[in-house]
Structure 1
Amino acid sequence: MREFVVLGTASQAPTRERNHNGYVLLWDGEGLLFDPGEGTQRQMIRAGVSAHQIHRICLTHVHGDHCYGLPGVLSRMALDGVDHPVHLHYPATGEGVVRALVSVASPGVDLRLHPHGVAGAIAPGLEVHPLHHRVETYGYQLAEPAGRTMLPGRLAASGISGADVGRLQREGRLGDVRLEDVSVHRPGQRFGFVMDTAWCEGAEQIAEGADLLVTESTFAESEAELAVEYRHLTARQAGRLAARGGVRRLVLTHFSARYPDAAPLGEEARAVAEDAEVLVAEDLDRIAVPSRRRLEAVD
């Protein structure tokens, strides 16, 4: 099961309709909680996300609307008896803030701290890339390894069936038949999370080839000067980011409180997003990760 759960979509200030940030990615039995702002614990209850489902907590940066819900989430984990390790990833320069937040949480969680300070892999399949905000900020990218899709017609023509198919996949060759003779390359699914940043190389890297890209969309294009001043993206920039990266599904979030209706931001993004499907996130939305990219027809 691969699904993205939206817990909150506000930016600096929550509104009556929008909670502070908070997002959960459910990916093959592992749950990743991104940027838990205030109220995340309650939003998890409303969304039907259990504390036991969270295995990693990923902070893009330590501004309050992205991390002040951390003590409540950890306390809930302790209350519910979560007994598996919980890995907390965050920018190294936020160490003081993170330790202060952790210190006021209820004890009892096997919490493992993982500060990072450079781009690269931080866990299997999970990478960080630096963004351009007012404090040290990183976006996250989760990528499934590429694989092979078996072609039934070619398998049949080669006389391979049953358990021999698995053996061929494991060993790469069965007699005169090579794995590449009866299969084609299958790209793995990719997820990207971009929050609080001006346009930058890191955001482009995260967007590249993403099946599902979640990105901030704090301002409309009419407030582009404010976006530059506070180092945020406009909705139009988010759409351009998706177009450049060949993104399949773009989720806009982190809306300024000046926009009680975020639908026009979605229209701005769609105008430039080319083939990307654009969704305007609402609190408690559940969004499927698109199925793997379809393969070209093979004879």
Structure 2
Amino acid sequence: MSVREFVVLGTASQVPTRHRNHNGYVLLWDGEGIMFDPGEGTQRQMLRAGVAAHDLNRICVTHFHGDHSLGLAGVIQRINLDRVPHTVTAHYPAGGRRFFDRLRYATAYRETVELVEEPVSGVAMRLVDGPAYTLDARRLSHPVESYGYRLVEPDGRRMLPERLAEHGIAGPDVGRIQREGALGGVSLEDVSELRRGQRFAFVMDTRLCDGVHALAEGCDMLVIESTFTDEDEGLAKEHGHLTAGQAARVAREAGVRHLVLTHFSQRYHDASVFERQARAAGYEGELTIARDLMRVPVPKRDQGR
């Protein structure tokens, strides 16, 4: 059975608190694991959350500020210590290669795992174009080079038992019509309907920009920063961040099904304000105010999707 869920390792912004570790997130997707933005303490948070180094196939860094990347050294060393049996691929802003190199080789250790670097550059870039999913990156608006990531499952077909029965198609012939697209004058479209692939986006430190909207469009789950409340919108813009209301309006306009807000400034002690402001902005879908160590299932497909 496939598992698609988002594991939250840390939810703080620049300064961690007693209850919020620095950033760290893992998307589990049908046997693969994509880590996003390993900040300080990520290795320990993985242990607490039940995420092993063997679970990781990719590491995606949005930008090289410490709360999003200082844990990278420990994660890479743990991958090698545990002798992960598969290749691990790292995506990060190409302009920050020197930071990645410093973190990768911060101390001495024995390299036992192939770590492939695939830096991101330009306004938009296709990182993975495979049969299971595509992974894209989009440039965001932050004081340092920053990217968001978007995973999209290809569209498929959902077989309709009643139509198969109408046309007398059963047993091995079901697989045959799926492979060949037609059987005895019956097309695949006659006995199935479109099943839209699921979509996930991860958006960290940024002002509102075209990249934010492109990443969020039509997502089943959008994980997005909301560092500030709406009262501090001026500060958010100055420092290259979003408010809860801005993030929620993006999600509403993009048709997001499940919105996950995270990356909260330490100045706010009551997280319920982010939920209130997101709802006040008109977002009516499923809403999660992220907490450390929570697991959030990717929404199941709607019928006809």
**Fold-level similarity (TM above 0.5):** yes
CA shift digits 1:203-233 (9 cap, x unpaired): 1011111001000000000000000100100
1:50-101 Cα shifts (integer Å, max 9, x gaps): 0000010000011111000001011111211212111000010000000110
Structure 1 residue 273: Cα displacement: 4.1
Count of aligned residue pairs for this structure pair: 296
Q: Normalised by the size of structure 1, how large is the TM-score? A: 0.97
Corresponding residue to 1:122 among 120, 127, 134: 127
Partner of 2:210: 201
Show the 5 A alignment for 1:205-220. 205-220=214-229
What's the CA shift string for 1:244-286, capped at 9, x where partnerless?
Answer: 1100000000000001221111110122243321110000000
Q: Deviations over 1:151-196 (max 9, x none)?
A: 1111100110111111101100001100011111111000000000
- State the SS of the aligned residue for 1:115: coil
1:191 aligns with 2:200: yes
Q: Deviations over 1:117-172 (max 9, x none)?
A: 02121013101011111111110000110001111111100110111111101100
Q: What's 1:87 paired with? A: 89
Q: Does 1:261 align with 2:280?
A: no
Matches within 5 A, 1:152-163: 152-163=161-172
d(CA) in 1 for partners of 2:114, 2:175: 38
Aligned residue number for residue 34 of structure 1: 36
Amino acid at match of 1:276: G
Distance in 2, Cα, partners of 1:191 & 1:95: 26
Structure 2: distance between partners of 1:241 and 1:54: 30
Q: Give, in whole Å, the separation in 2 of the partners of 1:65 and 1:113.
A: 21
Alignment of 1:231-242 (within 5 A): 231-242=240-251
- Is 1:180 the counterpart of 2:205 in the alignment? no
Question: Does the C-alpha gap of structure 1 residues 273 and 293 become closer, same or farther in structure 2, counting only changes over 3 Å?
Answer: farther
Equivalences for residues 22-171 of structure 1 within 5 A: 22-104=24-106, 106=109, 107-118=111-122, 119-124=124-129, 125-171=134-180
Q: Distance in 2 between matches of 1:228 and 1:20?
A: 21
Q: How many Å separate the matches in 2 of 1:290 and 1:58?
A: 22
**CA distance in 2: counterparts of 1:208 and 1:77, whole angstroms:** 33
Amino acid in the other structure paired with 2:88 = V
CA distance in 1, matches of 2:258, 2:140: 21
* Secondary structure of 2:102's aligned partner: helix
- The question of whether the paired residues in 2 share the 8 Å contact of 1:31 and 1:56 is answered with yes
Q: Unaligned stretches of 5+ in structure 2? A: none
Q: 3-state SS of the aligned residue for 1:141?
A: strand
| Counterpart residue type for residue 123 of structure 1 | V
Q: Which runs of 4+ in 1 moved over 4 A?
A: none
- State the distance in 1 between where 2:128 and 2:250 align: 25
Question: In 1, distance between residues paired with 2:282 and 2:79?
Answer: 39
For 1:269-280, what aligned pairs fall within 5 Å after superposition? Answer: 269-280=278-289
Structure 1 unaligned spans of 5+: none
Let me know the Cα RMSD of the aligned residues.
Answer: 1.0
Could you tell me whether the CA contact under 8 Å between 1:242 and 1:273 is conserved in 2? no
More divergent stretch after superposition (285-294 vs 75-84): 75-84
- Matched position secondary structure for 1:197: coil
Cα distance in 2 between the residues matched to 1:237 and 1:177: 49
Q: What is the CA–CA distance in structure 2 between the aligned matches of 1:80 and 1:103, rounded to whole Å?
A: 17
3-state secondary structure, aligned to 1:134: coil
Amino acid at match of 1:11: S
Identity of aligned pairs, percent?
57
